Amino acid sequence: MKKKRLYRLEDYVTVNIARMEREKLGMKRDSGGLYHLKTEYGKACMSDEQIEKMKRQMERGKRDRDRARRKNAGIRWAAAAAACMALFVLLPNTSAGVAHAMSRLPILGRLVDIVTYRDYSYEDDRHNAQITIPEIVVKLPEGRGGTTPEVQENMAKTAEEINAQMQQISGQLIAEFEESLKYEEGYQDMLVDSEVVSSTDHYFTLKLICYQGAGSGAEWDYYYTVDLNTGRQLSLSDLFMPDADYITPVSDIVKGQMRNQMAEDSMKVYWVDNTDIPELNFEAITEETSFYLNEEGDLVICFNEGDVAPMYMGCVEFVISREDLKDIWSYGK
């Protein structure tokens, strides 16, 4: 008989924290049913004071983890810069209010560079913001380097669209952070950073990392995968044959990996096969589910904190081999 997995109270609390944070930030809204469920569960098991104490302890640990990660990330960037200084290309940035831009590792090559569009930082006893907004800069290769004018035009348009999205996201967060400075109570941590998670001769993926903590915290990421051969941003459906049902097999593989991870590690919990609260269960990806291609060319499905697991699990990824999708896979063939 299958062993029943027990879900802890913090699982009920943290999934609702994630949903409420996303609602506050203008992301996908929830009906409020889960919040009511958490309240009722809390009444039966713990007092409001105990729940708040537990939440504070969870958030303290989460903030410590995120701050350590930011510190380690800075160390890694510094080491990489020292080792590869000869490869850097310093580019001017004429955007209003921005004095200059610095190249960022890795340099993608013949078509684009990833540079810093804007740095914003603030710190006092109750507030901390470290926001670095990236920008995709399209280069014009000497002698065009075999790149057609059409590809260059597509790349310029794609870069403009992605840059506008990243600036809008970051600008909204900066505005919310500055609004919070007006209040004497409470605290807020905010982080925006980026990372090139894959870079090949055929495509690259830029990841925009966002974190906001204000009583509770949440991280969410945006992925931009660009085909260097066409200059266009890839959507999930672009990876598969026309009219192929990729939703079902990808979803089934993700759920299978969730089950396997939980069977191997009791500390891992995903919202799957949960008979106690079936409305939490992950059922299927959508056309808008975040993804990227790793450098081996395999599909990586990405979920933000609280989407398919308790928030202590962080943002989670599932790597799916192209071989497992060979009957419907078309990208790169």
What's the CATH code of the domain at 224?
A: 3.30.565.40
Identify the pLDDT of residue 76.
40
pLDDT tens for each residue of 212-264: 987 778 899 999 999 999 999 999 999 999 999 999 999 999 999 999 999 99
Write down the pTM of the prediction.
0.71
Residue 166 lies in a domain: yes
pLDDT tens for each residue of 18-71: 444 444 444 433 333 333 433 443 444 445 555 555 555 555 555 555 545 444
Residue 278 lies in a domain: no
**Of 161, 213, 162, which is closest to residue 192 (Cα–Cα)?**
213
Judge whether residue 159 has pLDDT over 70.
Answer: yes
Residue 67 lies in a domain: no
Residue pair 272/258 in contact by the 8 Å Cβ criterion: yes
Q: Any residues with CB less than 8 A from the CB of 35 and at least 6 apart, and which?
A: 16, 19, 20
Round to whole Å and give the CA distance between 301 and 282.
13
Residue 300 lies in a domain: no
Q: Structural domain tally of the chain?
A: 1
Residue 172 lies in a domain: yes
Residue 202 lies in a domain: yes
Residue pair 63/21 in contact by the 8 Å Cβ criterion: no
Q: For the purposes of burial, counting CB atoms within 10 Å of the CB of 138, is it exposed (0-12), middle (13-18) or buried (19 or more)?
A: middle
Of 59-63, 130-134, 182-186, 217-221, the one with minimum mean pLDDT is 59-63
Residue 310 lies in a domain: no
Q: 207 lies in which domain range?
A: 73-234
Amino acid at 53: K
In what helix (H) or strand (E) does residue 69 lie, and over which residues does it extend? Answer: helix 48-83
Higher pLDDT, 276 or 227: 227
Residue 309 CA to its chain's centroid (Å): 15
Share of the chain above pLDDT 70, in %: 64
